Amino acid sequence: MTQAIQVRGLRKQYGGVDAVAGIDLDIAQGEIFAILGPNGAGKSTTVEILEGYRKRDAGEVSVLGSDPGKPTRRWKSRIGIVLQNTEESPELTVREMLRHFSAYYPDSRDPDEVIAMVGLTESAGKRIRHLSGGQRRRVDVALGVVGRPELLFLDEPTTGFDPESRRQFWELIEGLSDDGTTIVLTTHYLEEAEALADRVAVIAQGRIVAEGEPSTLGGRATAKARVTWSEGSVETDTPTETVLELSRTFDGEIPGLTVTRPSLEDIYLSLIEPS
């Protein structure tokens, strides 16, 4: 499998204090990888080093086969970055903005195709300043992908989205991934990581404290299940057995039955608890 990103022993200090304290990462080409962690954990520092915007103190880093500490123009053109607040020219229309930026890249996508991808076709002739917050966010994403990046960094992409826009956005990201784009995402929404990411890493205090598929992270898939019904609730390793017994007791349907395992949020919160 080709690696889009390879990191070994990454370290970064600010004023003698570890912000990133030894991180290893392997992100495969075409993967959607989410980086989770509380504020101050070292996520932005890590991502900015990968993007070529920050110098590291130590460690080996390869992004699309090159050292991001020595970024070249050609390398930069292969990477898309969607920041939290992009400054856009308010007086330009969506189409003008996309046309303008597409000219910077050697193999850019057609601006109108990108506008359609992010669901802004009907607003293509509108000035940026007349767009809603959610529509501006789509412009940010459009600008991030117009250069046809092989690797796309998304920093909390759906903050402030309503549930419907968030789902549409997830479809857009999945579509890019299906086309082979590698996606590195930071998010505070655990359900977003769960819906989108092939793998997640949880960072706390500059270190990776867990890494894996969202469905199995931190022993989630093998954790005890909670069986709840209208009259009670038990935690058990053998939920099927419990349900069978209950079904016999009730002689059929069990009123109010649910069987749950810890959510990604439960696991996440237990992982970042200060020890």
Q: Which residues of the shown chain bind ligand ADP in the complex (CB under 6 A)?
A: 14, 19, 37, 39-45
Place of tokens 């996440």: 268
Task: Determine the Cα–Cα distance for residues 168 and 163; give it in Å rounded to an integer.
Answer: 9
Q: 44 or 123: whose CB is closer to ligand ADP?
A: 44
Residue 261 CB, nearest approach to ligand ADP (Å): 27
Residue 18 CB, nearest approach to ligand ADP (Å): 8
Q: 14 or 53: whose CB is closer to ligand ADP?
A: 14
84 and 155 Cβ atoms separated by less than 8 Å = yes
CA angle (15, 17, 20) in 5-degree steps: 115
Task: Determine the Cα–Cα distance for residues 249 and 170; give it in Å rounded to an integer.
Answer: 43
Residue 34 CB, nearest approach to ligand ADP (Å): 13
How is the beta sheet containing 151-155 ordered, strand by strand? Answer: 79-82, 151-155, 182-186, 32-36, 199-204, 207-212
Q: 97 or 264: whose CB is closer to ligand ADP?
A: 264
Number of Cα atoms under 13 Å in the Cβ half of residue 238: 5
Q: Which residues contact 158 (CB under 8 A, 6 or more apart)?
A: 137, 165, 166, 169, 187, 189, 192
Residue 201 CB, nearest approach to ligand ADP (Å): 12
Residue 117 CB, nearest approach to ligand ADP (Å): 28
Residue 63 CB, nearest approach to ligand ADP (Å): 17
Q: 39 or 233: whose CB is closer to ligand ADP?
A: 39
Q: 257 or 272: whose CB is closer to ligand ADP?
A: 272
